[in-house]
Amino acid sequence: MSDLLSVCVVGLGRIGLPLAVQCASKGLSVTGCDIDTEIVETVNEGRCPYADEEGLTEGIAAAYAAGRLKATTDTAAAVQSCRVVLIVVPVGLTAENHADFAALDSAAQAIGRGLRPDTLVILETTVPAGTTRRRLGPILESSGLRVGRDLFLAYSPERVFVGRVLSDLRRYPKVVGGVDEASAQRAVGFYERALDAPVLRVAGCETAELVKLAETTYRDVNIALANELAQVADQHGVDVTEVIDAANSQPFSHIHQPGVGVGGHCIPVYPRFLLERAPNARLPRAARDINDGMARYAVDKLAAALGGLEGKTVLILGLAYRPDVKEAAHSSAFLLARQLSAAGARVLVHDPQFAAAEIAALGLEAPSTFPPAHVDALVVQALHKEYVDLDLAAFAGCRVVLDGRNALSREAVESVGMQYLGIGR
């Protein structure tokens, strides 16, 4: 595959940049493209913009030192000098919960301005099924080139976990589907050159697109089951964590854990992509409703324990959607804050990963000191390592701790005279 040694990665976010580093580690010449000038400048200095991404700081330094990684804001120029283009720009949700293609369309138009014949373009962003062939292809063809004649086009979903992307790129099979046979063969050959993981070819790009939607929707539905079991366990006065652990001792049971909601770029979003092309799919829609409803369920439990929330001060621990990663996309903290405010509480949000100004920019209030001078309750939303051995006795006035991730010791909470509330416990 000597003709595929020059690679352009469009989108240097938390998935795209590690992918660029992975390609560079295999001896490929990589140009990363992004509209964020700060990220581009950081990469061009050999530094890492995502310090909490395992191995990425070292990977960028090595690729930079070897002269295999550079970055630019000029996507068209970068594409013109490359034979492989990987697209890893975000596709999120609109206010109406439809796929927001603005970033992808803009990137595709820029790519089209630089395309040369015989270029391989691979979309890695998670999208509704049919997007690669029916949306991306026509935009690229605005260049005057034709998919299937002048261009190779394929889809291969990213399947990695933020915080360990490089590790996941080495072990998870790479699913690949092309718009035609030649595109599929080219894409498979590229990934066999660029990755260490096995490559799993599927029938076509629509199959590959649906693979990612199936993976993420499965997780959302599984978590919804766990959340419903938690509510049943509350009704019966049993501990759902004990129920799930015992049930999962049977090899066919793989129940996830309940909580106050599901956050991140993937699970709250991609089932919506599935529903966009399959509006009559009942289970994914029900799962979304159940999981988004857990914040209300948790706040109702807290209100019952405190005799109402009007005038109470509640501190949410953790803005991030999961522990020890500075990412707040679709975090349950927002749903919790909304429900608490609607019930009349003053809501404070603390997160060691975010500065007070960053929390304020997201429409939330950070405490002026930590611990605050007074709180009536704590809600554990993301158990960062800084919270594991938190001195609960330092929170003056706190009467109740709502453990939104079932991660704390009931005994530790009760030993300082506070009431412990869990989800299904």
Instruction: Residue 300: name the closest of 264, 345, 332, 334 by CA.
Output: 345
User: Are residue 182 and residue 271 in the same domain, yes or no?
Assistant: no
User: Are residue 162 and residue 270 in the same domain, yes or no?
Assistant: no
Last residue of a domain, one of 203, 226, 242: 203
User: Are residue 100 and residue 177 in the same domain, yes or no?
Assistant: yes
Write the pLDDT tens digit of every residue in 377-414.
999 999 999 999 999 999 999 999 999 999 999 999 99
C-alpha distance across the termini of the chain, in Å: 56
CB crowding 166-186: b at 16 or more within 10 Å, else e? bebbeebebbbbbbbeebbeb
* Active-site choice (212, 312, 385, 398): 212
Residue 46: give its domain's CATH number: 3.40.50.720
Is position 423 within any domain?
no
User: Are residue 24 and residue 96 in the same domain, yes or no?
Assistant: yes
Give the integer Cα–Cα distance in Å for 404 and 423.
Answer: 6
* Active-site choice (8, 48, 266, 398): 266
Q: What average pLDDT score do residues 32-61 get?
A: 97
Last residue of a domain, one of 237, 261, 292: 292
User: Are residue 181 and residue 224 in the same domain, yes or no?
Assistant: no
Is position 394 within any domain?
no
User: Are residue 158 and residue 279 in the same domain, yes or no?
Assistant: no
pTM of the shown model? 0.93
Is position 388 within any domain?
no
- The yes-or-no answer on residue 33 being catalytic is no
Write the pLDDT tens digit of every residue in 235-261.
999 999 999 999 999 999 999 999 999
User: Are residue 150 and residue 272 in the same domain, yes or no?
Assistant: no
Cα-based distances in Å from 176 to 49, 103, 133, 183, 269: 29, 22, 14, 10, 22
User: Are residue 268 and residue 142 in the same domain, yes or no?
Assistant: no
Give the integer Cα–Cα distance in Å for 162 and 53.
Answer: 7
Write the pLDDT tens digit of every residue in 156-204.
999 999 999 999 999 999 999 999 999 999 999 999 999 999 999 999 9
- Give pLDDT, residue 4: 55
User: Are residue 50 and residue 195 in the same domain, yes or no?
Assistant: yes
Is position 424 within any domain?
no
What is the span of the domain harbouring residue 219? 212-292
Is position 121 within any domain?
yes
User: Are residue 25 and residue 151 in the same domain, yes or no?
Assistant: yes
Q: Which helix (H) or strand (E) holds 255?
A: none
Q: What average pLDDT score do residues 40-47 get?
A: 98
- Give pLDDT, residue 2: 43
Q: How many domains does the chain have?
A: 2
Q: What average pLDDT score do residues 128-135 get?
A: 98
Last residue of a domain, one of 264, 292, 320: 292
- The yes-or-no answer on residue 212 being catalytic is yes
- Residue 5: pLDDT band (50, 70, 90) is confident
Is position 353 within any domain?
no
Q: What average pLDDT score do residues 298-304 get?
A: 98
Is position 414 within any domain?
no
Instruction: Residue 305: name the closest of 409, 378, 232 by CA.
Output: 378
User: Are residue 223 and residue 189 in the same domain, yes or no?
Assistant: no
Is position 330 within any domain?
no
- Evaluate if residue 1 carries a pLDDT over 70: no
Residue 284: give its domain's CATH number: 1.10.1040.10
* Chain center to CA of 118: 33
